[in-house]
Amino acid sequence: MTSDTSTGPDAGATTDADGAGEGGPVEPQAPLVTLRHAHAPEHGRSTALIGALRALPPGLSPFWRRALVGVAVVQLVLIIATGSVTALNFHLFSPIDEGAHFAYVQQIAEHGSLPVLGKTENSLQVLAISQGVYPGPTTINPKSDGLAGLSYEAFQPPLYYVVAVPAFYASGNFITKVHAIRLFDLLLLLAAVALAGRLCRAVLGDQWMIGWTMTMVFFALPGVVLRFVTISNLALAVPLTLLFVTEVWIAWERHSPRRLIVAGVVLGLCVLTELELLLLVPVFALVVVAEVVHQKPQRSWLPLVAAVAVPVILVAPWLLFNEATYHMATAAPIAIKEQTAIINPHHLHYSLGQLPKDTVKAVTDPTLVGEWSRALGNQVALTYLGQLLAVLVVPASLVLILGMGRRLWSVRSAILGLPWLLNVVELWYIRYIQQWSVDVRYTFPTLPILLVLAAVATDTFRSRFLPVLVTLGATASLVLIWAFLIFGYTGPFSLR
Across the 496 residues of the chain, what is the mean pLDDT of every consecutive 10-residue run? Answer: 40 39 40 34 54 65 92 97 96 91 96 93 92 90 81 94 97 96 98 97 94 96 94 97 98 92 97 96 95 73 89 96 94 85 74 79 70 84 89 90 89 95 90 80 94 92 88 96 93 88
> Residue 391: exposed, middle, or buried by beta-carbon count in 10 A (0-12, 13-18, 19+)?
middle
d(CA 135, CA 21): 61
* pLDDT attached to residue 45: 57
* pLDDT attached to residue 32: 34
* pLDDT attached to residue 215: 97
Amino acid (1-letter code) at residue 176: T
CB 1 within 8 A of CB 456: yes
* pLDDT attached to residue 13: 39
d(CA 286, CA 411): 8
* pLDDT attached to residue 55: 54
d(CA 444, CA 126): 27
d(CA 256, CA 267): 16
Reported for 139-148, long-range contacts at CB under 8 A and 24+ positions apart, including other chains, are 147/338, 147/339, 147/341, 147/342, 148/122
Query: Each residue of 244-267: pLDDT tens digit?
Result: 999 999 999 999 889 999 999 999
